[in-house]
Structure 1
């Protein structure tokens, strides 16, 4: 059995299929995990989801910001933009079950080695590993509950941007979602910065990539993540593995074979 982790698919169905063919992926014995952002902005989010669902228990994922945003659009909390390219997906006769399928995925996943984790954007430098796990579970429980819509309504906003300012359940929910699905840069104290989406070289001097502010505990963890296409897979750290390489923007889709560390890529068809 091989475990593969793929970066942000974002509806790039054809590229995903081609990449799995390169890997000779066998759903009867291999596992495919996604770093989140399964949908949105790519050419066919519906076909992507239908294919991933066909993999059954051979597929797992963490939630990304676009996946959560799709849920909000479904509930009428937000409106889809033309650039989201979600019309076919939202019009699907199976949209109800698709939303339920998405909602069962977590914000972070432990890898089988017990020393590595996967999340869409990373781990907050202000958290211990235990806090990250507990806060992920706090959000996951609410996304799977009957009052999911209420919590999705509370999800949007940039405050509080520091874990040390969190005082209510709503603030805990929002900060946790932002840390796991939106984070790229942080200020020196580990608080979240939301405006800069560039590469680290082009960022303002007062912000740093989240993975350069890790605690001693976090430095001993291997972390797989997506979300940050501008990195193009480069972090400069062996234990911090970036998998979003901007397929949806015309670059390529990246997947890693976990045990060997081998990277496989598929150029975008754009």
Structure 2
């Protein structure tokens, strides 16, 4: 019997360093000591207290299931000298902290996908050609790369926009980059799964010929419930087989948590306001 059946998890949208709203949300939830806590990535960056947010989630130990988001990976890349700090980043407090090394090691060992009792959590999305088995295999390949001694070289090779489309014939580096971008960056794709990375507005802002990834016809993960964050302009969205969690806390909107009951009618939504947590940069 899994922990989900004993105590349904609560899944949280992107914290992005908004620690005070996260504390208020935790206090508002009907949590038991054994309630699993799922985090859809982007624990850090853009908000005012990334260090406290990261420390708190890491402090939950095995009770917390957090997948890697693009901002989490940006932190790892900056720490490794792979990417430069951006003007809008709020990562300096983490990098200067006395416990920076164990926090970064903890973060680097998070997965790209988490699956339990019919629910698949990723940060951004999955490509329509992937079934659950393939998605988990690709996530495992990525996380093994980040947990290896040469993780910096692996991470450096993952950045880039090409190729934009999955093929089973891709060589290893291209295969891993496609998976990396799908799990952490995708919003729109063509019906055949070609990804687009420039548009970050709501579903009605799709570039010509593109659709939200989850609306791709014959998406092969439609038989499981996909839980994801990343897309703040989409906002909180609940379908029977889809839960979008990023309701734009770092934009000053709301931070959301959803009880992941197996029966969609029993899912509970709890939100708090995030007026003190505003970031003017609305990109990735």
Q: Which runs of 5+ in 1 are unaligned?
A: none
1:22 lines up with 2:28 in the alignment: yes
Q: Does the CA-based 8 Å contact 1:103-1:143 persist in structure 2? A: yes
Give CA deviations for 1:74-103 in whole Å, capped at 9, x if unaligned. Answer: 001111113111111111111111111011
Which segment is superposed worse, 39-48 or 187-196?
A: 187-196
SS in 2 for 1:138: helix
Give aligned pairs, total.
266
Q: Aligned ranges for residues 158-197 of structure 1 at < 5 Å?
A: 158-164=161-167, 167-197=170-200
1:6 lines up with 2:12 in the alignment: yes
- State the match for 2:282 in structure 1: none
Equivalent of residue 64 in structure 1, options 63, 66, 69: 69
- State the match for 1:80 in structure 2: 85
SS in 1 for 2:17: coil
SS in 2 for 1:83: coil
| Equivalent-residue separation in structure 2 for 1:219 and 1:56 (angstroms) | 31
- State the match for 1:105 in structure 2: 110
Show structure 1 runs of 4+ deviating over 6 A: none
Q: Which runs of 5+ in 2 are unaligned?
A: 1-6, 277-284
- State the match for 1:240 in structure 2: 242
Q: Does the CA-based 8 Å contact 2:191-2:217 persist in structure 1? A: no
Residue 165 of structure 1: CA displacement?
Answer: 7.7
TM-score in terms of structure 2 length: 0.90
TM-score in terms of structure 1 length: 0.94
Residue 41 of structure 1: CA displacement?
Answer: 0.3
| RMSD, aligned α-carbons | 1.5
Q: Does the CA-based 8 Å contact 1:160-1:166 persist in structure 2? A: no
